[in-house]
Structure 1
Amino acid sequence: MQQELRKIQITPDIRISSVWARPDDYRGAEGSAVILAHGAGNDMDHPFMSHFHQAFAEAGLLSVKFNFPYKELGRKAPDRMPLLEDTWRAVIRAVREDAQLAPKNLYLAGKSMGGRVASHLAAQGESSQGLIFLGYPLHPARQVDKLRVEHWARLSLSCPVLFVEGTRDALCDLDVLESELPRIPAPVTLHLIDGGDHSFKVPKLAGISQGDVWSEAASAITSWIGARDTCNTGA
């Protein structure tokens, strides 16, 4: 596996960092890629992000992670939604237009806020072979009446969605989530992390390491991608 740090231009004044992990046997025109966006409180180098980024590449996928501008500049407050969306678009464009690495199938994945922004792009017509949410921020903590689902009905019928959710996630009440999933026109898969919180952390009494929890989640994601790829080839 090869890893390369690349800068991507977002606006004339803003560039962000990205890391591209390429499996040794990856063939762009025949392969699949995952772009992974971080959540509001971390950046692309957070252990959570690095674990999933590497796991995707080890599974044979071109794996790309990136920073949003505010994290590139060392700030705490997230950028406004238009800039977050423009950043996602620029990274997608960089992957799709790469002469050697442009994939046949592209999946958009994100931790919390990163996934939410990807869903807004998809609702605006950005195409991909699937959306992957690693802890979707369905609502603010203890405010289940403030749902972030108004755009779900505009998602494409041809873009399947995978939710990976911890059963203790304070930002995603599972009963509420399941009641809202019918809004999404495309096929939806819900994979639960038993005892996991918003970052899939489980209680110590569970007797399982954090790395093992993340690896199980990553395996579920890559299996889901493999099934989608098979459907896309008509096999």
Structure 2
Amino acid sequence: MHGFLHRPESVPVAILALTHGAGSDCDTVLLRAVADGFAAAGVQVLRFDLAFRVRRASGPPHPSRAAEDRAGIAEVIAAVRSDYSVPGPVLLGGHSYGGRQASMMAAENPGLVDGLVLLSYPLHPPKKPEKLRTEHLPDLNTPTVVVHGSKDEFATTEEIQAALDQVPAATRLVEFEGARHDLSVVKFPVVEATVAAASALFVF
């Protein structure tokens, strides 16, 4: 496992394992900013690389090995639970591909985590709305926050809301008008709104 740990100044009220998208690693501007924001709110955050990124420094994940990325996520959560004892919820989050794999892992393993924070969920490939990635959502019994930009080419806001309507657990959609898939933290208050939505839904 490769990652970075953000420790809050006080006793942690929750812990968040946070991972990246297909074209990057865990050391992105977005993930660093979100991790710092949660840490400021008292949440201990582990930013970590997915298995495909541990194997090689560049290049996208291969669809045939996505199960390995999910297995790696499960290993990270197991390590978090054993190594870091916190009184509050254990959360799992990810940007784009990382968020999709996190949600699939949670659907396959009810109770794995107490909540999900999905940044720019890639509902379908750009310009291919017929190829929805929603098969697992009716089995997702984990409360979920989704952070979405209205100009994200991977889904419209209406498509995201329709997808969340399939989730039997509590959900909260945070939308930024004009934001794209990268969720620019310079242009939009992504960090503040994400932390606020998560703290309200997951109660920490």
Q: TM-score when scaled to structure 2?
A: 0.91
Q: Deviations over 1:32-76 (max 9, x none)?
A: 011111000111112122111112112210011101233232131
Amino acid paired to 1:219: E
- Could you tell me which residue of structure 1 aligns to residue 181 of structure 2? 198
Query: SS at the partner of 2:186?
Result: helix
Amino acid paired to 1:26: V
Q: Is contact 1:167–1:197 with CA below 8 Å preserved after alignment?
A: yes
- Could you tell me which residue of structure 2 aligns to residue 148 of structure 1? 133
Please, which of 187, 191, 197 is the counterpart of residue 218 of structure 1?
A: 191
Please, which of 69, 73, 84 is the counterpart of residue 88 of structure 1?
A: 73
Please, which of 10, 19, 28 is the counterpart of residue 46 of structure 1?
A: 28
Q: Is contact 2:137–2:167 with CA below 8 Å preserved after alignment?
A: yes
Q: Distance in 2 between matches of 1:89 and 1:56?
A: 21
Q: Deviations over 1:124-172 (max 9, x none)?
A: 124222111100000000000000001000011xx21111100000001
Q: Is contact 1:144–1:173 with CA below 8 Å preserved after alignment?
A: no
Is the aligned partner of 1:181 residue 2:164?
A: yes
Instruction: Tell me which structure has the larger Cα radius of gyration.
Output: 1
User: How large is the Cα RMSD of the aligned pairs?
Assistant: 1.7
Query: SS at the partner of 1:183?
Result: coil
Higher RCO by CA contacts (8 Å cutoff, separation 6 or greater): 2
Please, which of 89, 100, 108 is the counterpart of residue 105 of structure 1?
A: 89
Q: Is contact 2:52–2:69 with CA below 8 Å preserved after alignment?
A: no
Q: Deviations over 1:155-196 (max 9, x none)?
A: 11xx21111100000001222222232211012111101100
Q: Distance in 1 between matches of 2:119 and 2:6?
A: 19
Q: Is contact 2:150–2:179 with CA below 8 Å preserved after alignment?
A: yes
Amino acid paired to 2:106: A
Query: SS at the partner of 1:211?
Result: coil
- Could you tell me which residue of structure 2 aligns to residue 4 of structure 1? none
Q: TM-score when scaled to structure 1?
A: 0.79
- Could you tell me which residue of structure 2 aligns to residue 70 of structure 1? 52
Query: SS at the partner of 2:4?
Result: strand
Q: Distance in 1 between matches of 2:157 and 2:34?
A: 23
Q: Which runs of 5+ in 1 are unaligned?
A: 1-15, 202-209
Q: Distance in 1 between matches of 2:159 and 2:193?
A: 23
Q: Is contact 2:120–2:181 with CA below 8 Å preserved after alignment?
A: yes
Q: Distance in 2 between matches of 1:74 and 1:123?
A: 29
Amino acid paired to 1:110: G
Q: CA deviation at 1:103?
A: 4.8
Q: CA deviation at 1:102?
A: 4.3
Q: Is contact 1:119–1:131 with CA below 8 Å preserved after alignment?
A: yes
